[in-house]
Amino acid sequence: MKLSLRLATALENSLPGYPLWDICCDHGLLGIHALMSKNFPEVHFVDQVPEIMSSLSAKIERKRTALMSLASYHLLPAENIQHSLEGSVCVLGVGAQKIEIFLNAWEAAGLLQAQRLILGPHKDEGWFLKNVIPSLQKYQLQKQIDLRERGRLRTIFILDKKSFI
């Protein structure tokens, strides 16, 4: 279970000692590696596809370690999360407009309390930088990391909560 460069970069930039949210987790590799690192007190996996979540929880349970108790599974569309999002919130591999929908829903519900946002839209990165990031008034862009992955340029935006900086 090797991490892609993009996922490894997200993990390296996540805040140890805080919860980690793996949003639209797909295969959950980011969250699994976060669990295995023992650097995060909680790891939340969020995806709306039942097969993904059942496969993911089975993978983690097969490891039969104390790490299982640190994992929480949220089977729902990310914009419907009802928990306070704290620590590092990682959203990678969905489009810029989808990430904007998530952020707007969390903000409207008062749930977006994360100290760090790690956002990697898989398309429309320029539009995202120009239109979405400035709208996140509680956050400041710390880094923009451009990575070449499978012949394609991918961008990850790292934002910190202004009160956390």
Q: pLDDT per position in the chain (165 positions), as tens?
A: 789 999 999 999 999 999 999 999 778 999 999 998 999 999 999 999 999 999 988 888 887 666 778 999 999 999 999 999 999 999 998 999 999 999 999 999 999 999 999 999 999 999 999 999 999 999 999 999 999 988 888 999 999 999 987
Specify the long-range contacts of residues 66-71, CB closer than 8 Å, at least 24 apart: 67/35, 67/36, 67/38, 70/35, 70/40, 70/41, 70/42, 70/43, 71/31, 71/35, 71/43, 71/44, 71/45
What is the CATH number assigned to the segment(s) 5-161? 3.40.50.150
Q: How many CB atoms lie within 10 A of CB 107?
A: 14
Predicted confidence at residue 65, as pLDDT, reads 66
Predicted confidence at residue 61, as pLDDT, reads 82
| Domain spans, the chain | 5-161
CA–CA gap between residue 152 and residue 165 (Å, rounded):
32
pTM of this prediction?
A: 0.95
